[in-house]
Chains A and B, each alone.
Chain A
């Protein structure tokens, strides 16, 4: 046994019919470390987690906890021996109080001393610095706090190993920081944390070690300082990673004619979702971006452009002609497409087939009384499944059974099929694997070179710098700057987002 190791997994194999999900994977977690588990979708991260938490039985290999071999047969087993998991989706009950959530299922006998439990809960919340009280209703807390309550529940169960499966994907920057602080506190108390995430920046911010998986095999375990970001990505992808750097070279921002009539122009566009009136224009063949912290109003701004929320005022011109956009259909008819930020909530129609999901927008534009023939719909679907390389068993597969990246491609296909002149992509790369991210960024630039205008929004500033030729920066619902050319660099953008004395940051 390695010194300081709490958890050792050796030679773990897991097979599904026809698929090798894990092949002789080793994983070691040491006391008081935050260990990132990285890999593309399908690399075996979730399978490994599920083997560890007893969801799947393993086909070979062994697990030891503090040097003692353990057989984990169910998630309950895992919990009992001190392996706790907090999932991406909150699995607590929003209609119960914080304390009830922390102790539910752990009280003994028919009588419960709630006063004591509330006091214990408050004590623990204080200790962990979680801004919530025992008697608060969980549903009223922010997502981050709910996430932390889930962690507090795990910690109170004396966990030695805490697994965080994509905990940050629905948190904004400040909330992420709070979560990280909690993680660091737990680490100093000797808890070993396994952190699964898609966000590279977060890995480098908080983790000590990285284990990379690819195609169900172990690529390696690295100390964070030894593995620069580009190397990490290339290890995950299994190829030398100059793809990303090359992305922009074939695009040419100079070609955009900034003096011509804008494809879309808004003057004093006023939304009803807490953003200040703003002016905005985009030209033919241009890729621009909206950036700012989550909650700064970047999504709200593009939603106002698309008419997704009620628009209170302002003038909108398409190719110089004044138009009225009150609802999404108006925008669609004027050649605007919008890929929403929250794919699951606003993008996919889960139970419908991939085909129906692809034709949906174009079909609605065509009209209620003019359905496409089945043959036509199949042709469209085939065309875009091939064009975007969507991995699906068939056109008839419900979209919800596809992986996140492929779902996103289907939504992209939907809006490309609508053949817009102006395409708004709000976080198209969120929660999908690196390979698909690159594909989507390349596609954006290809579309621009074909003369389409694109607004591209991403939480990852790297991506924005690589794809956009102009960035609109927002803070607290207000446009605070516009950057282009040489100003498009990480420091300048950060400074503008943060505001105040830019020199502080540089």
Chain B
């Protein structure tokens, strides 16, 4: 019975059930709408920036640039979702902490220093920030893994406290870095026309791809997320794996915090990365990943992140004001989530199969 069912589903069924299907279709629809409304949307030009560099500009570039933080977060959020069956809602607040940390470290050393030393300071500050962010991730992870607190509740602590901690780190000062070199990481490096965050995102994606290829992270995280008890009896330590995914998310947060503060060379504690946790969770959901944990598809999550940014930029393009944009986004999200629900996808595939079957039987009858 099962075998005949599977073969009957055929190519279309497989396509509809593929996890990349929904985010890719969403992307295509957005592209189509923009092409129809205003083909100049896709125009990319090489123009001199305010500092006199030649840089690429255009909507596509700004989408790819601005989606960077979200794409990087989606990596960690997908892993946390897979292993723990829950989401980390503190990432926006911990990005504030990470950003504040970096500014503090850079500020501690006197500014306006020579090139080589500057690079060293940036690297050291960044590494320190990675460690601290990883520790905050471990804090969340420990609450989830060892104290068995629901991820959303456990991360509610830092969600609430994070921005205050970020403010404390710099005594609530409005810190800004005057050295223009600090802004390279969130904007452009002179002589390179592509925004730097795009490269940082690419590096992160390559690193995680290598990690997934050369370790068993995927198998372990999925096993733990699907059945922790079985995993333990197969020699996996579920607690450690959950902790590990939260630490990885912590590192992603550090990278995001770095990009964020570099974009403006300053920080506003209450605004930086506001609501990004919801977009990150949305990216995971858009990618067709089960928010209850288990199997995951990282590529789909990352494409989901770009879809969200594409949508935001498109709405801006249609002159939707920033206060109204959430409502529009919500409508689109409802539609996307609705069609990405397995129930609906199976239904679509079945309806299609029935049509096929009835057509076939008609043909059969005619032949008789």
| A contact residues vs B (CB 8 Å cutoff) | 16-19, 21, 306, 308, 327-329, 332, 338, 340, 345-352, 356, 360-361, 363-365, 367-371, 393, 401, 414
The segment from B73-81, B178-186, B226-234 found at the interface with A is B226-234
**8 Å CB contact of B233 from A338, A350, A367:** A338
Segment with Cβ contacts to A, from B4-12, B36-44, B155-163? B4-12
- B184 smallest CB distance to A (angstroms): 34
Q: Flag if A363 contacts B216 (CB, 8 Å).
A: yes
Say yes or no: B4 contacts A17, CB within 8 Å: yes
Smallest Cβ-Cβ distance to B223: which chain A residue: A349
- B236 at the A/B interface (Cβ < 8 Å)? yes
| B51 touches A (CB below 8 Å) | no
A339, closest chain B residue (CB): B233
Asked if B230 contacts A349 (CB within 8 A), the reply is yes
Whether a CB of chain A sits under 8 angstroms from the CB of B219 is yes
With A17-B4, A348-B230, A349-B223: A365-B214 Cβ-Cβ less than 8 Å: no
Closest approach, in angstroms, between the C-beta of A75 and any C-beta of chain B? 20
B13 at the interface (CB under 8 A from A): no
A363-B216, A364-B236, A371-B214 given; A347·B230 CB < 8 A: yes
Q: Which of B215, B227, B235, B295 contacts A328 (CB 8 A)?
A: B235
Given A18-B4, A401-B2, the answer on whether A364 and B234 have CB atoms closer than 8 Å is: yes
- What string of 1s and 0s marks CB contacts (under 8 Å) between B190-233 and chain A? 00000000000000000000000111110110110011011111
Inter-chain CA distance A327–B236, complex, in Å, is 10
CA distance in complex: A257, B5 (Å)? 52
Is the Cβ of A364 less than 8 Å from the Cβ of B235? yes
CB proximity to A under 8 Å, residues B230-268: 230-237
Find chain A residues with CB under 8 A from B234 CB. Answer: 328, 332, 360-361, 364, 414
Question: Would A365 and B216 be within 8 Å (CB), given that A18-B1, A348-B230, A350-B227 are in contact?
Answer: no
Q: Which residues of B contact A21 (CB under 8 A)?
A: 1
15 more contacts with CB within 8 A, not counting A327-B235, A393-B6, are A19-B1, A308-B233, A328-B234, A332-B234, A345-B230, A347-B233, A348-B230, A349-B226, A350-B227, A351-B295, A360-B219, A361-B234, A364-B235, A368-B215, A371-B214
Is the C-beta of B99 less than 8 angstroms from some C-beta in chain A? Answer: no
> Is A368 within 8 A of B216, CB to CB?
yes
Contacts of A345 in B (CB 8 A): 227, 229-230
B92 interface residue per 8 A CB criterion: no
B304 contacts A by Cβ under 8 Å: no
A-side contacts of B295, CB under 8 Å: 351-352
- Please name the residue on chain A nearest to B240 by beta carbon: A368
Any chain A CB within 8 A of the CB of B294?
yes
Instruction: Decide yes or no whether B358 CB sits under 8 A from chain A.
Output: no
Compute how far the CA of A401 lies from the CA of B219 in the bound complex, rounded to whole angstroms.
19
Q: How far is the CA of A300 from the CA of B293 in the complex (A)?
A: 30
User: In the docked arrangement, what's the CA distance between A455 and B1, Å?
Assistant: 36
A-B contact pairs, 14 of them (CB 8 A): A17-B8, A19-B1, A306-B233, A328-B232, A328-B235, A340-B230, A347-B230, A348-B230, A349-B231, A360-B219, A364-B235, A369-B214, A370-B216, A371-B216
Bound Cα distance A350, B220 (Å): 14
A351: contacting residue among B219, B220, B226, B235, CB under 8 A: B226
Contacts of A328 in B (CB 8 A): 232-235
Q: With a CB–CB cut-off of 8 A, which chain A residues contact B213?
A: 371
Complex interface: chain B residues within 8 A of A17 (CB): 1, 4-5, 8
- Decide if A363 touches B219 in the complex (CB within 8 Å): yes
The 8 closest A-B pairs by CB, nearest first: A18-B4, A329-B235, A364-B235, A19-B1, A16-B1, A349-B227, A17-B4, A351-B226
Report the Cα distance A16→B294, complex, angstroms.
Answer: 31
A347, A349, A361, A393: the one within 8 Å of B2 (CB): A393
Residues in B247-293 with C-beta less than 8 Å from chain A = none
User: How many angstroms from the CA of A306 to the CA of B217 in the assembled complex?
Assistant: 25
Q: Given the complex of chains A and B, what is the CA–CA distance between A259 and B227 in angstroms?
A: 42
* B235 touches which of A340, A361, A369 (Cβ 8 Å): A361
* Nearest CB of chain A from residue B204's CB, rounded to whole Å: 20
Residue of B nearest to A20 (CB): B1
Question: Are B222 and A369 interface neighbours, CB within 8 A?
Answer: no
B3 adjacent to chain A (CB < 8 Å): yes
Chain B residue with Cβ nearest A371: B216
Q: Counting chain A CB atoms within 10 Å of each CB, which of B214, B222, B227 scores highest?
A: B227
Q: From B290, which residue of chain A is reached at the shortest CB distance?
A: A351
With A351-B226, A352-B223, A371-B219 as contacts: A346 and B233 at CB distance below 8 Å: yes
- Give the interface centre of B213, B220, B234 by most chain A CB atoms within 10 Å: B234
- Which range holds the interface residue count of chain B? 20 to 34
Chain B's nearest CB lies how many Å from the CB of A355?
11
Cα separation A120 to B220 with both chains bound (whole Å): 51
Min CB distance A462 to B, Å, is 28
The answer on a CB contact under 8 Å between A350 and B226 is yes
**Bound form: Cα–Cα A364–B217 in Å:** 11
Smallest beta-carbon distance A79→chain B, Å: 25
Chain A residues within 8 Å of B217, by CB: 368
CA distance A160 to B222 in the complex (A): 47
* Most chain A beta-carbon contacts within 10 A, residue among B5, B230, B236: B230
Q: Are A371 and B215 in contact (CB under 8 A)?
A: yes
Question: In the assembly, what is the distance between CA of A166 and CA of B56, in Å?
Answer: 68
Measured CB to CB, the nearest residue on chain B to A361 is B234
> In the assembled complex, which residues on chain B have CB atoms less than 8 Å from the CB atom of A352?
219, 222-223, 226, 295
**Contact yes or no, B294 A351, CB < 8 A:** yes
Q: Hey, which chain A residues are within 8 Å of B2, CB to CB?
A: 393, 401
A479 to B5: give the CA distance in the assembly, Å: 51
- CB of B330 to closest CB in A, whole Å: 30
Considering the chains assembled together, what is the distance between the CA atoms of A327 and B4 in angstroms? 43
Q: Which residues in chain B, 1-39, are within 8 Å of chain A measured between CB atoms?
A: 1-6, 8
CA distance A328 to B234 in the complex (A): 7
Residues on A with C-beta less than 8 A from B5 are 17
Contacts of B232 in A (CB 8 A): 308, 328
Among residues 334 to 366 in chain B, which have CB atoms less than 8 Å away from a CB atom of chain A? none
Report how far A363 CA is from B223 CA in the complex, Å. 12
Contact B3 A393 (CB under 8 A): yes
CB-defined contacts of B223 to chain A, threshold 8 Å: 349, 352, 356, 360
Look across to chain B and name the residue whose beta carbon is closest to the beta carbon of A345: B229
Give B225 Cβ to nearest chain A Cβ, in Å. 9
Chain A contacts for B237, CB-based, 8 A: 327, 329
Which partner residue on chain B sits nearest A392 by CB separation?
B2
Residues of B within 8 A of A393 (CB): 2-3, 6
Q: List the A side residues contacting B4 at CB < 8 Å.
A: 16-19
Q: Give CA–CA (A21, B214) in the complex, Å.
A: 46
A369 to B215: give the CA distance in the assembly, Å: 4
- The answer to whether B235 and A365 touch across the interface, beta carbons within 8 angstroms, is yes
Q: How far is the CB of A359 from chain B (nearest CB, A)?
A: 8
Write the chain A residue with the least CB distance to B218.
A371
The answer to whether B230 and A332 touch across the interface, beta carbons within 8 angstroms, is no
CA distance A345 to B230 in the complex (A): 7
Residues from chain B with a CB closer than 8 A to the CB of A306 are: 233
**Min distance, Cβ A337 to any Cβ of chain B, angstroms:** 10
With CB as the reference atom, state the residue of chain B lying closest to A333.
B235
The docked-state distance in angstroms from the alpha carbon of A289 to that of B3 is: 38
* Contact among B6, B219, B233 with A356 in the assembled complex (CB-CB below 8 Å): B219
Taken together as a complex, chains A and B put the C-alpha atoms of A393 and B5 apart, in Å, by 11
Q: Which residues of B contact A332 (CB under 8 A)?
A: 234-235
Residues in A whose Cβ lies below 8 Å from that of B1: 16-19, 21
CB neighbours of A401 from chain B (8 A)? 2
